Chains A and B, each alone.
Chain A
Amino acid sequence: MEPRPPVFALRGVGKAFDGPAVLSDIDLCIRPGEQVALVGPSGAGKSTLIGLLNGTLQPTRGEVRVLGHDLSRLGSRARRGVQYRIGTIYQQFHLIDNLRVVHNVNMGHLGRWSLFKAFVSLFWPLEVARARHALEQVGIADKLYARTGHLSGGQQQRVALARVLAQNPEAILADEPIASLDPERAREIMDLLRDLSRRRDKTLVASIHAVEFATSHFERVVGLRAGRILFDCAAGDVTPAMIDALYRIEHEADRGGPVGAGPAWAPQ
């Protein structure tokens, strides 16, 4: 059997906003079913990388292929078709607070619902059984009709997860999913993410601050620093020295030059 094509393939990718490059020379290949943690200090470019993977951002150089497609070359309809196969959860949940939970979960269906169906569902919620099933899997089925903004942070992240489950994508991206949660809630969400993606054979890519979760919940760890990949290895091979190099505070000598200009500390 031919191996399945990679879910994400990045070649020589760079991304700059109005200024110095946020990401440069990124080569990354993520295969179906892989569970990858992106670690690195604030400002390393983790969120930008996630944005490139779900098509929110386009690279300024190089090529990003998502499920075999170069999103920047697709028309808007075809691009949405690919984006529908990628689900994302965020640090700030990014739910619509003043809608009921059921609508936020149903937003996962928007990629295949017609506008008319979406409109009707706002007044008379449709596919409620599926929404309830998704919420059951994240453990808050009783909140189906609650106002989303009234839920706690941990519950809101569960709603966001249920939205992704309803979407049923091939890959799940998570941008700092636990950075706004307390340690107990964080562990629950990480366990859920790991178990749900394993059980359904989903690809999982999560950017995450807490290195201990990166090694305990993922197979592969990618270290980002100043817009470049510092290491990319199996979770078991990550050493304290690598983590130290990743989070080391820059010294005076390292500052001043353009970010990502390849300072001398890069060991590889």
Chain B
Amino acid sequence: MSLIGTRAERAESSVARPGARPFPVNGRAAAFCLFLLAVAWAVDQAGMFSGDVVNEGGWSIAGRFVRAAVRPDLSSELLRLALPSALITLAYAVCGTVLSLAIGIVGGVLSSEVWWQARSRTGRPSRRALLPWLGARGALALPRAIHEAVWGLFFIHVFGLDPISAILAIAIPFGAITAKVFAEIFDETPQGPLRALLGGGASPPHAFLYGLLPAAFPYLLSYALYRFECALRSAAVLGLIGAGGLGYQILLSLESLRYEQVWTFLYALILLVALTDAWSSLLNRRLNVSSTTGLHATMDAPRPAVVGEGGGGRPAAEPHRPRRRSGDFAVRLSLMAAALLIPFSFWYVRAGWGKVFEERTQRNFDLIARDAFPPNLAPALLGDLLHLSAQTLAMSIVAITVAGLGGLLLSFPAAANFTLPGGLFDTGARRGPQVIFGGAILLVTRGLLLVTRALSESIWVLIVLFVLFPGILPGAIGLGLYNLGVLGRLMAEVTENVDNRPLRALLAQGATPAQVFLYGVLPKTLPRCVAYVLYRWEVCIRATAVVGIVGAGGLGRRLSQELTRFDYGAVLTILLCFLLLTFLVDLISAAVRRTLR
């Protein structure tokens, strides 16, 4: 009662002096100060001030590596190796995505509120439905919190170096993430048609199929495409831990110092990612889901902007160009490609699906489970892990700062509505130079963003480790570069989706482009971009595992060490540390996002 009272009083006191200048120190300012402190602490942890992070001897090797970029090994011998490797990576990604979508659809329906509402007669979730709903949510939370590389190592220990390890390592965590996002898409889809069908006596599954799924479908498909892009990068990373494919070849060539070969595989990976990227953005345009940025924000964006919350979605009053319907050529071609690619991939990987039911698998699993329980809680280990957890947190903070600032800077030139003709800052002078100038800026920044995100954090770490000693810093740089690419693209989409008319209104009253940027573009994009950075931080803390596995520092490195020693008790303790860290970061990120709202 007293709490409610004070809240009402506070609300009143802000009305009591209307038009008074508000105190400049508010929640946002406090969050900003905390952020600066956190960055200072993290940079100190990373050893930036204590020196001895740069391996002076590494520069000559790094130079050789960079020079090799312009002359990749294009011998027919190597290309004959690169093609099947690329196909393996692609096939892992396809199989993993297909399975994760299956998990995602089932899990998504079962963990959505609307499904349980539809099943109850009152239209409100009954108490009986609460248990399965919470059960579904809980069952999906754990697989999501563990990075796919860790899953990969686990499955390798169970199944051995079989393709099935790589596929399941993608399918299980991605399935859990997809289920969460699908559930949110279902819940955010307008529910009028569903209610109408239920009111007309349709059974819940029928009503779901006819009343909800058609409206949700473009968003589901768009997210599925995004998942596929992620799966492609993950498949390459899983190669690094021995699953074969492009990642494995990159590692082999890197270890045998054949940098020209490394570049061949890197270019193959970039090409693969670029093609997927172009294809998915084409389909997104065709499906008319330009505002799916909310979905793409993170592995599990809590609030997909399906119905365009606030400033994100396309404003309703903006005149729409007539768009082609979904029956068009690109969509049909994609469906055909998918229909061919999926059976091909399952055939090509030659996974030992039978292994799932083999006795040996059961034995391995029992062995691991017996060793892992109870987790190793020796004080010496816990002391180590506390220190490593702090370092891991520091790594994620440095990484997300680099990624956020860099991504923001690059996102504006990468947005198509700025410098191109007809864009906001089209000088309107001459057409030709504008096209060349604007187009060049756009291409260069987009290319940069593509390369940074195509190589993924772990390959960046391998490259950075030429000149840096293993530790927090190389991991932070690797994670930072990769997330810079992801965030830069997302933020560019935010900028492209901004309602241009208020900005044009400012231009019409004589403001300069720089002023319009300051008063129009930044206020409209910054809150969303900061929210994305915070979401992405949650992804980042999970991904510290994989950069540790490939040789940076922190908890991930310790995890891979304990795994090679088969000390499953310690492994389980480390995984618990990861869970706690993820939980902590989610908590902070959600709290900061609330103050920004």
Contact = CB atoms under 8 A, between A and B. Distances in A.
Contact of A80 (B18, B510, B519): B510
A118 B523 CA distance: 13
Given A56-B504, A141-B19, A142-B18, A119 B518 contact: yes
A145 B501 contact: no
B419 to A, nearest CB: 15
Interface stretch (A32-40, A89-97, A232-240, A248-256): A89-97
A98 B311 contact: yes
Contacts of A118: 515, 518-519
A111 B509 contact: yes
Contacts of B514: 115
Contact of A107 (B311, B519, B524): B519
Contacts of A167: 509
Interface string B509-547: 111101100111001100100000000000000000000
Contact of B22 (A87, A145, A149, A169): A145
A81 B22 contact: no
Contact of A96 (B22, B508, B519): B519
B502 interface: yes
Given A110-B515, A115-B514, A88 B509 contact: yes
A181 interface: no
Given A96-B523, A96-B524, A122-B518, A110 B311 contact: no
Contact of A115 (B20, B427, B505, B515): B515
A88 B510 contact: no
A85 B509 CA distance: 7
Most chain A beta carbons < 10 A, residue from B311, B428, B505, B524? B505
Interface string A128-165: 10001000000001111100010000000000000000
Nearest to B528: A98
Given A54-B508, A97-B311, A115-B512, A145 B19 contact: yes
Given A96-B519, A99-B523, A111 B511 contact: yes
B441 interface: no
A205 to B, nearest CB: 14
Interface residues of B, number: 32
Interface in A173-195: none
B278 interface: no
B379 interface: no
Nearest to A82: B510
Contacts of A80: 510-512
Interface in B415-454: 427-429
A2 to B, nearest CB: 27
Contacts of A113: 515
Nearest to B429: A76
Nearest to A117: B515
Contact of A83 (B19, B310, B510): B510
B527 A98 contact: yes
B506 A90 contact: no
A108 B506 CA distance: 8
Nearest to B29: A123
A32 B144 CA distance: 67
A55 interface: yes
B21 interface: yes
A132 B511 CA distance: 21
Interface residues of A, number: 45
A77 to B, nearest CB: 9
B279 to A, nearest CB: 28
Most chain B beta carbons < 10 A, residue from A80, A82, A86? A80
A84 interface: yes
A88 B509 CA distance: 7
Given A96-B502, A118-B519, A84 B527 contact: no
Contacts of B317: 92
A11 to B, nearest CB: 22
A125 interface: yes
B24 interface: yes
B507 interface: yes
A124 interface: yes
A103 interface: yes
Contacts of B311: 97-98
A81 B510 contact: yes
A141 B311 CA distance: 26
A85 B310 CA distance: 32
A88 B506 CA distance: 9
A97 B498 CA distance: 12
B434 to A, nearest CB: 13
Contact of B511 (A58, A90, A107, A123): A107
Contacts of A110: 506, 509-512, 515, 519
B519 A99 contact: yes
A111 B505 CA distance: 12
Given A115-B515, A118-B518, A119-B518, A88 B21 contact: no
Contact of B505 (A88, A98, A132): A88
Contact of A95 (B310, B429, B502): B502
Contacts of A132: 19
Contacts of A82: 510
Most chain B beta carbons < 10 A, residue from A58, A97, A128? A97
Interface string B180-223: 00000000000000000000000000000000000000000000
B508 A56 contact: yes
Nearest to A144: B19
Contacts of A98: 311, 523-524, 527
Contacts of B512: 80, 110, 115
B498 to A, nearest CB: 10
A94 to B, nearest CB: 4
Contacts of B519: 96, 99, 103, 107, 110, 118, 122
A84 B506 contact: no
A86 B523 contact: no
Nearest to A84: B510
A97 B514 CA distance: 19
A145 B523 contact: no
13 contacts: A54-B509, A80-B510, A83-B508, A84-B510, A88-B509, A96-B519, A96-B520, A97-B311, A110-B509, A111-B510, A115-B515, A143-B19, A149-B310
Query: When A and B form their complex, which 7 residue pairs have the shortest distance between CB atoms, in order from nearest?
Result: A84-B510, A142-B18, A111-B510, A110-B511, A83-B510, A94-B505, A94-B502
Given A98-B524, A115-B515, A149-B310, 6 more contacts: A56-B504, A87-B509, A88-B508, A90-B505, A94-B504, A95-B502
